[in-house]
Chain A
Amino acid sequence: NAGVTQTPKFRILKIGQSMTLQCTQDMNHNYMYWYRQDPGMGLKLIYYSVGAGITDKGEVPNGYNVSRSTTEDFPLRLELAAPSQTSVYFCASSGQGQETQYFGPGTRLLVL
């Protein structure tokens, strides 16, 4: 049971480039989330999804997009990378009726 997996582990982007951060969970969870963690800070919610085809904005959605075509996958898209998006990104999932979220190992992104 792999849980929540994220790829890539680390990426360097130039300003204005785009990329997709991948997140997959194999626990058949309906709820999935994207957070970012800036140095010395807690996690802030970017987007979340309560099921396939349904997404909603979190606290800091600007500059990001998401889609949820399947239960398992919840990719996060950066269209025009900016230095302010340098951060560590965590994907998480939780099951219906449960609130414990299970986190992936994170993707470290550096925008130069």
Chain B
Amino acid sequence: AQSVTQLDSHVSVSEGTPVLLRCNYSSSYSPSLFWYVQHPNKGLQLLLKYTSAATLVKGINGFEAEFKKSETSFHLTKPSAHMSDAAEYFCVVSDTGRRALTFGSGTRLQVQP
């Protein structure tokens, strides 16, 4: 069985300050991990994915995430927040057997001017 826990339901930062969105996972297999972003009333867009290559994964829009097996974590970071980063972020783990995704409950990122 696999599961994902996003440790914060809501994060608020000031524009230009760092962003940290936390995610812990549980998986019986070597997992594939993803971060998706959802802007209001929009579909989901892939930010980045980890598939057992480099543990530090770089994504779009300056985001990156580090896979830490010992901590079962896959936290998402960005050095400097922009107003356009305000959205809902989902950490996702993949069941490689049937290629279904298990979603975390999401973290809403608010960026203050």
* A interface residue numbers (CB < 8 A to B): 31, 33, 40-45, 48, 50, 56, 58, 90, 94, 99-106
Q: State whether A43 touches B43 (Cβ < 8 A).
A: no
Q: State whether B98 touches A99 (Cβ < 8 A).
A: no
Q: State whether A42 touches B94 (Cβ < 8 A).
A: no
- Evaluate whether A41 and B105 lie within 8 angstroms (CB atoms) in the complex, with A100-B46, A104-B43, A105-B43 already known: yes
- Evaluate whether A43 and B105 lie within 8 angstroms (CB atoms) in the complex, with A99-B32, A99-B51 already known: no
Q: State whether A45 touches B43 (Cβ < 8 A).
A: no
25 A-B pairs within 8 Å (CB atoms) are namely A31-B99, A33-B100, A33-B101, A40-B9, A41-B105, A42-B103, A42-B104, A42-B105, A42-B106, A43-B44, A44-B103, A45-B100, A45-B101, A48-B100, A50-B98, A94-B99, A99-B96, A100-B34, A101-B46, A101-B101, A103-B44, A103-B45, A105-B42, A106-B42, A106-B43
- Chain B: minimal CB distance from A41 (Å): 6
Residue of A nearest to B4 (CB): A42
* B interface residue numbers (CB < 8 A to A): 4, 9, 32, 34, 36, 42-46, 49, 51, 90, 94, 96, 98-101, 103-106
Most buried by A among B43, B46, B103: B43
> CA A63 – CA B96 in complex, angstroms?
26
Residue in B32, B51, B106 whose beta carbon sits within 8 Å of that of A41 in the complex: B106
> CA A65 – CA B101 in complex, angstroms?
20
Please name the 6 residue pairs, one residue from A and one from B, whose CB atoms are nearest each other, closest first: A42-B103, A103-B44, A105-B43, A103-B43, A43-B103, A42-B105
- Chain B: minimal CB distance from A40 (Å): 7
Residue of B nearest to A58 (CB): B100
- Evaluate whether A99 and B105 lie within 8 angstroms (CB atoms) in the complex, with A90-B44, A106-B43 already known: no
> CA A42 – CA B45 in complex, angstroms?
14
> CA A82 – CA B70 in complex, angstroms?
44
Q: State whether A99 touches B46 (Cβ < 8 A).
A: no
